[in-house]
Amino acid sequence: MEDSKDTATIPSDGSLFKTNNTALAGYLYSLGYHHIDTDVSQYPAVFSFEGDGTLKEAVKNFQLAKAEGNIVLFFRGYRKMLSIIHILSKVSEEAKIK
């Protein structure tokens, strides 16, 4: 399943970064950016990260296919984001049933 058009937003103050790109979220997680929340009430899910001055550069490098890093850590981060979507979606569905 591919992400639809990325809705990445980087506020000018760098305080909060949101994206619906699961691979980008996994990449940021692998770089050590703090994952704050995942909103699964919409499709695709939206991931939120704490931003700082370096986050904007990391996102730009990812979008330009110039991202560097540890592929094993990226894969773990990507799987982590997928598992978060799965778990939160399941909890959300169970809450609707009750």
Q: Which residue has the higher pLDDT, 98 or 15?
A: 15
Tell me, yes or no, whether 7 lies in a domain: no
pTM of the model: 0.81
Tell me, yes or no, whether 11 lies in a domain: no
| Three-state SS at 80 | helix
Give the range of the structural domain holding residue 35, as residue numbers without chain letter: 16-97
Tell me, yes or no, whether 69 lies in a domain: yes
Number of domains the chain contains: 1
Tell me, yes or no, whether 2 lies in a domain: no
Question: pLDDT digits over 22-77, tens only?
Answer: 999 999 999 999 999 999 998 899 999 998 888 989 999 999 999 999 999 999 99
Q: Which of 38, 41, 43, 42 has the alpha carbon at shortest distance from 17?
A: 38
CA atoms 90, 91, 96, 98: torsion sign: positive
Question: pLDDT digits over 68-82, tens only?
Answer: 999 999 999 999 999
